[in-house]
Amino acid sequence: MSPSSFGFQPFQVLVIRDKKLLEELTAVTWGGQKQFPTASEVLLFNIRKDVRFDSDYIDHCLKTVRNLPAEVIDIYKPLVKQHQEQDFKLLHDIRYLHDWAGKQIYIALGNLMSAAAEIGIDSCPIEGFSIETVTDILVKHDIIDPALQEPCVFCAIGYRAAPPARPKARRDINELIKFIDAENV
């Protein structure tokens, strides 16, 4: 139920349960050396590369997923076009569209981690890998189509085996947050 821009959910989630594939991915994921072999589940969020205003995918989301009436779709689609072409300029370089899909992924990732924590399950997002190398492995096994998907972030989840070795460290709240009150303006 994570929200996403226009409700387009521009991603796919893989749950990597095949042990051999997981081993292959572990070998190339420097950031998951401790987590992958011990996690209950290893997820991979892939961005969808086809979430352009004029794509079949957008039609599918509006018509089938959201079941919007034709007259609402007629209002919606020009707004999506304007958003992508002008407001956020996502089509100037295709990388922008992909990064925008990635932003939606991190909302879902954050919700996943918070929801897991609420029920006592630990999680660790993992960006310590080469997108190219992981793509090659998934393409080799026919799991993703590189024209349509690109690995974005892993998330390993499971119950902790032991308490954390070190306490959590965060910047001081006054370094992180600046309060702007009337007397500062």
102 binds ligand FMN (CB under 6 A): no
124 binds ligand FMN (CB under 6 A): yes
171 binds ligand FMN (CB under 6 A): no
- Candidates 18, 3, 25, 23; CA nearest to 151 is 25
Least distance from C-beta 16 to ligand FMN, angstroms? 15
Residue that the structure tokens 């958003």 belong to: 83
Least distance from C-beta 127 to ligand FMN, angstroms? 4
Euclidean distance between CA atoms 29 and 168, whole angstroms: 24
Do 50 and 57 contact (CB within 8 A), yes or no? yes
- Name residue 78's amino acid: P
Binding test (CB under 6 A) with ligand FMN, winner from 95, 168, 171, 178? 168
Maximal CA-CA distance, the chain: 61
Piece of 11-19, 69-77, 91-99, 120-128 that binds ligand FMN (CB under 6 A): 120-128
Least distance from C-beta 128 to ligand FMN, angstroms? 3
